[in-house]
Amino acid sequence: MTGRENLVMTARLFGHPGPDADRAASVVIDQLGLEEVADRRCGTYSGGQRRRLDLGAGLVGAPRLLLLDEPTTGLDPAGRVEVWDAVRALVAAGTDVVLTTHYLDEANELADHVVVIDHGKTVASGALGDIKAGIGQDVIEVAVADPARLEQVGQILVRVTSRPPRLDRSGRRARASTTEGASDLAAVVQGLSDAAIAVDEIGLRRPTLDEVFLAVTGAGPGAGK
């Protein structure tokens, strides 16, 4: 079957009579950007196109609320972006979406309101910015020119912040949480200068959702402090 045929069939299962089912399928095809592939057999679709068709199957019944469980699992980066764009389009058109995901960058991209669940219990809930602010810690991040100096950068960070650093050897980055913000950043810059460590990038930023998750679940370095 083609994508259009699948959507028409699903609309009929929702109870739409023939002409209404055709119209509902056409609306969803346009809404999810499937016009170019709608009349191709679904077996020829990419992973992202199939996931968008899956979304469409839920939409032909015109739901006010759509529940999505791990909608981008197994997709390549291009396919994930396609699904993200489709979800944004649904929300813009008036559908409320509840989405579960283990990809925290996905929640960061899509969510207005986030609930973090750890072992079946809610450990954080609220607007994305509020949750990030709630852990009370900014992050100092340093990207080094010479990966051999990464350990030394970590030592400077722990000396200044009194927090265990996290070292990303493949990315040549070290980061540590701080409650003193700009003053700790200035001290780190001075420490790097004194040690003659060349850096590609250094900055103070809000925590990522991954770092928030580690902090509120007690799973990360320095969690609970």
Task: Read off φ and ψ for residue 150, nearest 5 degrees.
Answer: -60, -40
Distance, in Å, from the CA atom of 23 to the CA atom of 3, rounded to the nearest integer, reads 14
Same domain? 9 vs 103: yes
pLDDT of residue 191: 96
- The domain boundary residue, chosen from 95, 111, 127: 111
- Residue 177 phi/psi, 5-degree rounding, is -75, 150
Q: Are strands 96-100 and 65-69 parallel, antiparallel or unpaired?
A: parallel
Domain boundaries, position 67 = 3-111
Same domain, 30 and 65: yes
**Do 89 and 141 share a domain, yes or no?**
no
Is residue 116 within 8 Å of residue 86, measured between CB atoms?
no
Q: 129 lies in a domain?
A: no
Tens-digit pLDDT profile for residues 97-154: 999 998 888 998 899 999 998 889 998 899 888 887 776 678 999 999 999 999 999 9
Which residues partner with 121 through β-bridges? 118
Residues 162 and 106 in one domain: no
Task: Clarify whether residues 102 and 25 are in a common domain.
Answer: yes
Give the pLDDT confidence of 154-179 residue by residue, as tens digits. 999 999 999 889 899 888 999 998 88
Is 126 within a domain?
no
Judge if 208 and 152 occupy the same domain.
yes
Is 122 inside any structural domain? Answer: no
Q: Do residues 7 and 102 share a domain?
A: yes
User: What spatial distance separates the first Cα and last Cα of the chain, rounded to whole Å?
Assistant: 56
79-97: burial string, b at 16+ Cβ within 10 Å, e else? bbebbbebbebbeeeebeb
Q: What is the pTM of this model?
A: 0.64
Q: Is residue 207 part of a domain?
A: yes
Q: List pLDDT tens digits, range 59-110.
A: 888 788 989 999 888 888 887 888 888 888 888 888 899 999 988 889 988 9
Number of domains in the chain: 2
102 plus 17 within the same structural domain = yes
